[in-house]
Amino acid sequence: MSQPFVQQLLDLIYKDLSVSRTERERLTDWILDTMPRALPLDTTSLLDYLAAHQPDLLSRLMANPRVNEQLARAVQPVHLN
């Protein structure tokens, strides 16, 4: 069974040695301070946070070939007809 996409993104961020400790701590603080403990973190919330507060991390994820296609689909705006 594959892990949820949001977990894949978090793994990439936390295992990337080029991501500073401060950046990881800011993300951790946001998760702990704003996400309900009883519910899993969702991809949309994570991407919204990264776009608003840590766009460099989002850019790194977008450049990662392991997730770039799936991530591009996740950040596309929804068009209603």
Residue, of 76 and 32, whose pLDDT is higher: 32
- Render pLDDT for 56-70 as a digit per residue (tens, 0 to 9): 999 999 999 989 888
Query: Residue 29's Cα: distance from chain center in Å?
Result: 14
Q: Could you give the residue ranges of the DSSP H alpha helices within 37-78?
A: 43-53, 55-63, 68-75
Q: Which domain holds residue 61?
A: 5-74
For residue 39, being part of any structural domain is answered with: yes
Q: How many domains does the chain have?
A: 1
Average pLDDT over residues 7-12: 94
Of 23-27, 37-41, 45-49, 75-79, the poorest mean pLDDT is in: 75-79
For residue 79, being part of any structural domain is answered with: no
pLDDT-based confidence at residue 7 (cuts at 50, 70, 90): very high
Residues 51/58, Cβ–Cβ less than 8 Å: yes
CA atoms within 13 A on the CB side of 3: 11
Of 15-19, 51-55, 66-70, the poorest mean pLDDT is in: 66-70
For residue 59, being part of any structural domain is answered with: yes
